Amino acid sequence: MMPDPFSATEGELAPHWNTLTAELVPQLDIRASKVSLKAAPVGDKLIASFIGEAARRAGRLRGDPMPVVPFRSISSNWEVWLGYREVWTLKGGNPKRFNFASSDLTIFFAIAGSEAFQQILRAEWMGPEKSLEGWSFKPSNAAHPHWQIDIAETLKLDADLEAARELLREVEPREFGAPEPAPVPDPPWYQIGRMHLASAMRPWADGLIAHGPADLAAVRMWVVNTVNLLQIELERI
């Protein structure tokens, strides 16, 4: 059985987000130089995300829309936008303490000057969840932290939209009672976003695939270093 996740008070979390903002902003587009991270209560959770004039809202493939900020350009007419969410769940106590629940970075592409955000990939670090047996990662065989590739599902939405447009453009009426064409099954790569691609596994050393952060500094280090890695990799496009 694994130990309880680490917790923090609001008084500890506020300076944590201030420090993380100061470390993140230099890696963002100049338009995002004045954004910050701020938490809002949602039920029994605190959810921190970007705020500021440069922030926009992007729809996600799953879950509610999230604030995103300009990250970098990747060509003369395409931009990368970055979303960040950090979630803490109320533990209780006086002062109130919150358990680490998750930290995630989401990359979106958009044509420069537009707000038609296309979700591309995510880096996520989930904390353990409590059950009758105690604390454990869910699912138990998934890697934490991990990458998830969303572009395949985004492409499926584009393909479904184009298929609907083609149907509307049909000019030949179908004969009444004619059989419908057999549906073509979706290719399996549309489901690649379900895969959890480990980002902290050392298969040459051990088989451990799931890790939880030990403290606030570990969360910040993961976020900042992951953003730095994204900068390097996006430069290749």
DSSP 3-state assignment of 213? coil
Does residue 10 register a pLDDT over 70? Answer: yes
pLDDT at 226: 97
DSSP three-state, residue 204:
coil
| Burial profile 171-187: b = 16 or more Cβ within 10 angstroms, e = fewer | eeeeeeeeeeeeeeeee
Could you report the per-residue pLDDT of 82-121, keeping only the tens digit for each?
A: 999 999 999 988 989 999 999 999 999 999 999 999 999 9
Domain residues of the chain, as ranges? 7-149+193-234
Q: CB–CB of 219/144 below 8 Å?
A: no
pLDDT at residue 133, rounded to an integer: 76
pLDDT of residue 91: 93
